[in-house]
Structure 1
Amino acid sequence: MTFPEPDPVVLAAFFIRRFVWLEVLVFIALTRGIVGRGPSRWAALAAMVLCLAGILTTFAPMAGYNQGTLYVTAAQVMSWGGGMWALMAPSALLLLSALLPVPRWRWLDVLHVLLLGAFFVLWWWIS
């Protein structure tokens, strides 16, 4: 008996959603938080905090911290909207930091928008 093999695009999409997207956003947000000024910096740092919370929630079961009200609440928040809310909220804050005064290093915004576009195309492809 042979089992159906999953589509590599679907596997890549699941892998990116689960283990890559928030990690990439952390580095973009951290860089914007370091070089940005004023309100742009604070929006980027808020995005970084959301990304780190999502990463900690993702890897908490491997560390044995998958019990208690904090983890349960964080896991429920991570599952809102099929998990996309938790991925798009930090991205929205990064987009906001690009629109606020004094963001500096505009290439970070270009990189973020390109990655966001690729993410949406991948999401559309598997839907």
Structure 2
Amino acid sequence: MSSLMEPNYTLLAFLFAQKFVYAEAVFVLALLRALLATAAARFSALLAAALAAAITLTVFAPALNLQAHPVYPVATRALDHGQGMTALLCLMAVMLASGVLPGHRHRWIDALHGLLCLGLLGLWIATMF
């Protein structure tokens, strides 16, 4: 028999992945792609790394005592838009673009990013039901 106060573990997993896993993992993958790719794929990977770094910095701003910065409220509102998924979907699109633009190499980066996308989107869909 379940209690009313028992947490929904699917929702907790989604929130944890949304805030502390996806952007950080994409940051690492985007830096690897930027080092290993050439031409337009490198530029797109650097853009994805910058966006992932901005998302991560915004999430950890209160712990770093950076919430007094004038950019913080705007960044927080941007991360809260669309249940927190709008910024992550934009990051996902930029990282996916780096895999199809000329100059991309090492398909294993795309495979890892695809697994991250499937995991995050699967948890997001599972929390809707």
The total of aligned residue pairs comes to 126
The aligned counterpart of 1:94 is 95
The residue identity in structure 1 corresponding to 2:73 is: V
Runs of 5+ unmatched residues, structure 1: none
The aligned counterpart of 2:17 is 16
The aligned counterpart of 1:84 is 85
Instruction: Report the identity percentage.
Output: 35
Q: Separation in 2 of the partners of 1:90 and 1:48?
A: 9
TM-score for both structures, normalised by structure 2:
0.92
TM-score for both structures, normalised by structure 1:
0.93
Q: Separation in 1 of the partners of 2:118 and 2:12?
A: 19
After the TM superposition, which residues 41-60 of structure 1 pair with which residues of structure 2 at under 5 Å, given as runs? 41-60=42-61
Runs of 5+ unmatched residues, structure 2: none
C-alpha displacement at 1:68, in angstroms? 3.4
Q: Which runs of 4+ in 1 moved over 6 A?
A: none
Q: Separation in 1 of the partners of 2:93 and 2:51?
A: 11
The answer on 1:30 being equivalent to 2:31 is yes
Q: CA RMSD, aligned part only? A: 1.2
State the SS of the aligned residue for 1:62: coil
